[in-house]
Structure 1
Amino acid sequence: MNDRLGDDPELDEEARAPGARTIRDVARLAGVSIGTASKALNANGRLSAKTRAKVLKVAEELDYRPNNLAQSLHRARSMTVGILSNDNYGRFTFPIVAALERRLFDSGIAVFMCNATDDPARERRHIDQLLRKRVDGLIVTARRADRREPIEPAARGLPVVYVFARVDNPDALCLLPDDEGGARLAVEHLARLGRKRIAHITGPEHFEAVRLREKGFRAALASAGLAAPPGACRSGRWSEEWGREAVRDLFARPAAAPDALFCGNDQIARGALDALNEIGLSVPGDVAVVGFDNWEVMTSGARPPLTSVDMNLDALGTAAGDALLQMMAGSKLCGVSRLPCSLVVRASCGAIL
């Protein structure tokens, strides 16, 4: 019998607990091999009743407590998964995790959540800790659906799902909102309402979501037979301040001013609403406004209430849970899947559905 560490998960784990009674102690005092002791303690394998009873008696005398986590690994799973995030604010992660946890709870699986805060060393430590807990899979999420380094080298052989996060690995599974499709929904809606001069105020260009939303903006204009005038797309910060600044610039020449604004997020849209009010323009009478994210604290508090694109983060979380369960069952899932967004219509666009 080979007694090296690493041949048995229970041995590997117990060796990490100095002073604790281990299966080695049980085997030595019972006069059997470690493999025989393991079979007796786990009630499996072919052993005589006498040998099994002797091992159990020694274990009781030593007050030996088996590693339940390792035993669950012998049986199949630990029934836990790890969630790794870098979203300090939770704006996007919390709805995803809440839906994910509900889905996994239905299958009897608990979650460990870790926040890496954009610190590679901290992330590496969290991954190591989760792997030591023998999690059955990992979910990786972020505060922005942009590219990141994959973690497969650290978690080789373990199912990993990236949700609201993206890696350049054809073997990875990435679940993302359809930013381009969401932008098309917003602009097509404005065009159907008769708006002809639609401008786009958005965030930093280095974000993939920004580029995709601009692509959807331009595609929807073209589909409606509308032109995007020069300077109609303004890229800046994810902030209300930038929304105010962009509006003051766009409306500096009233003759060429837009009659609708599609904003890259709800914070920008709130700033735009404030600035339009300051320069004496009514919303939606003079200018219709649509945001992106459907962040309730922003949309319901706006005056008028803000129409916005909802990324359906609950659906993303549920889909991530479904995908992880399939992968844990042996399915091979990979590629980039973009889930549809929806438009939540409120007063700021001039139509209530």
Structure 2
Amino acid sequence: MADPTPRATTLRDVAAQARVSLATASKALNDRGDVAPATRDRVRAAADALGFTPNHVARGLLAGRSGTVGLLTSDLEGRFVIPILMGAEDAFGAGQVNVFLCDARGDAIREQHHLQALLSRRVDGIIVVGRQTDQRPSLGQDLPVPVVYAYAPSDDPHDLSLTPDNYSGGRLAIEHLLSIGRTRIAHVSGDPAYAAAQDRLAGARAALDHAGLALVGDPMFASWTEHWGRDATRALLERHPDIDAVFAGSDQIARGVLDAVHATGRRVPDDVAVIGYDNWEALATGSTPEITSIDAGLQNLGRQAAQRVFDAIDGVDTGEGTHHLPVRLVIRGSTIARR
């Protein structure tokens, strides 16, 4: 009996032989500049040894690239959007990719206009950046280029979305307060309709449950402002004067919390520790004391989104669904441990 037709060597075989990821193998063979020379040589040697021949159709697609990527945002003036765009543009700059930036200003019709304009320019891929972490409508599955959603995830599970892990951020904030001996913790946050507000609260409650504790009083929601932070904290301290920590849903709220605590004659962090969210450095480091905060890693999120677009353009399967990227704790003077 004749032997079956041997299986053609694939890019995955080359990656395994060279001991690199599929994405790195693709970049090396496509002469992308973000691969170390030694790695590129190793991948090419593996391809030669295995007799790997890139698909001619794929080569044609590579030759037809425009070298441009679209960044479609809904809120160019937003403080959260800017660092995401900076991270994405940093990554694109390293790959010598031109970027078309379009601001839909939160208008669905304007967004469709910009989308068609980007496609008419034959962009190789698109990153869609939302203004908040609530789900947003998908652009659809019939687009001719890869699309990655950043910050605001798509409502279609078949799309690829990257967003900060606000649940873990809430846990991290409470775990830090517990680690410095605080047990009477209250929570003041912003608009309860925001997914970020609910996710941070859920993470905070999970950490307290694990420690056998609960929030002091009900979580207080209203707006993402210093004014609300002051008003809410005054009310909390009147009802619960033994509060020893406040987890604020944003740094702006945390700034208001500081003001209210100081106004009652209490000291931060000696009497009441305060932790914020977003790590807005201009605000956090300009406060007295400086505010401990959770950093959502927005520039890294932008870089990751750009990398996923690169990978998809290179033919690498980037997956689908919503991926929650890690956040980190930045400790400052508002949560110094008691002695």
Aligned residue number for residue 316 of structure 2 = 331
Question: In structure 2, what is the equivalent of residue 31 of structure 1?
Answer: none
Q: Is the 8 A contact 1:93 1:143 kept in 2?
A: yes
2:73 aligned residue (74, 80, 85): 85
The match for 1:246 among 232, 246, 251 is 232
CA–CA distance in structure 1, aligned partners of residues 159 and 115 of structure 2 = 17
Match of 1:132 in 2: 120
SS for the counterpart of 1:252 is helix
> Aligned with 1:161: secondary structure?
strand
Q: Which residue of 2 aligns with 1:172?
A: 159
Report Cα offsets for 1:91-138 as digits up to 9, x if no partner: 112211111112122222111111111111111111111111110111
Structure 1 counterpart of 2:335: 349
> Which residue is 2:109 aligned to?
121
Which residue does the alignment assign to 2:170?
183
- Partners of 2:146 and 2:212 in 1: CA distance: 46
Question: Structure 1 residue 74: deviation in Å?
Answer: 8.7
1:146 and 2:134 equivalent? Answer: yes
Unpaired runs of 5+ in structure 2?
1-59
Match of 2:187?
200
Moved more, 84-93 or 271-280: 84-93
Distance 2:217 2:225 in 1: 23
2:68–2:97 CA contact under 8 A, matched in 1: yes
Q: Name the aligned partner's letter for residue 299 of structure 2.
A: D
| Match in the other structure for 1:159 | 146
CA distance in 2, matches of 1:245, 1:237: 11
Q: Percent identity?
A: 44
Aligned partners of 1:109, 1:132: CA distance in 2, in Å? 17
Q: Could you report, residue by residue, the CA deviation over 1:49-77 in whole angstroms, capped at 9, with x for unpaired residues?
A: xxxxxxxxxxxxxxxxxxxxxxx979320
Counterpart-to-counterpart distance in 2, 1:73 and 1:322: 19
2:260 is paired with a residue whose SS is: helix
Is there any run of 5+ residues in structure 1 with no aligned partner, and where?
Answer: 1-71
Aligned partners of 1:91 and 1:152: how far apart in 2? 27
Q: Structure 2-normalised TM-score?
A: 0.79
1:133 aligned partner, one-letter code:
R
Cα offsets for 1:220-247 (capped at 9, x unmatched): 111222222442x111111111101100
Answering whether residue 284 of structure 2 is matched by residue 299 of structure 1, we say yes
TM-score, normalised on structure 1?
Answer: 0.76
**CA deviation string 1:17-71 (max 9, x = no partner):** xxxxxxxxxxxxxxxxxxxxxxxxxxxxxxxxxxxxxxxxxxxxxxxxxxxxxxx
Q: Distance in 1 between matches of 2:245 and 2:214?
A: 13
Q: Retained in 2: the 8 A contact 1:159–1:324? A: yes
Distance 2:209 2:267 in 1: 27
2:326 to 337, 340, 350: 340
Aligned length: 278
The residue aligned with 1:5 is none
Secondary structure of the 2:238 match is: coil
Offset of 1:278 from its aligned partner?
Answer: 1.4
> In 1, distance between residues paired with 2:253 and 2:217?
20
Cα-to-partner distance string for 1:185-215 (whole Å, 9 max, x where unaligned): 1110100101010111111111111111000
CA-atom RMSD, angstroms? 1.7
Q: Does 1:261 align with 2:246?
A: yes
Any conservation in 1 of the 2:187–2:215 contact (CA below 8 Å)?
A: no
Q: Which residue of 2 aligns with 1:277?
A: 262
Larger radius of gyration: 1
Higher relative contact order (CA 8 A, sep 6+): 2
CA pair 331-283 structure 1, distance change in 2 beyond 3 A: same
| CA offsets 1:303-328 (integer angstroms, 9 cap, x no match) | 10000000011211111111111111
* C-alpha separation in 2, matches of 1:135 and 1:187: 44
- The structure 2 residue matched to 1:76, chosen from 47, 51, 64, is 64
Q: CA separation in 2, counterparts of 1:347 and 1:286?
A: 13
- For 2:209 and 2:75, how far apart are their aligned partners in 1? 36
Give me the whole-angstrom Cα distance separating, in 1, the residues matched to 2:281 and 2:131: 17
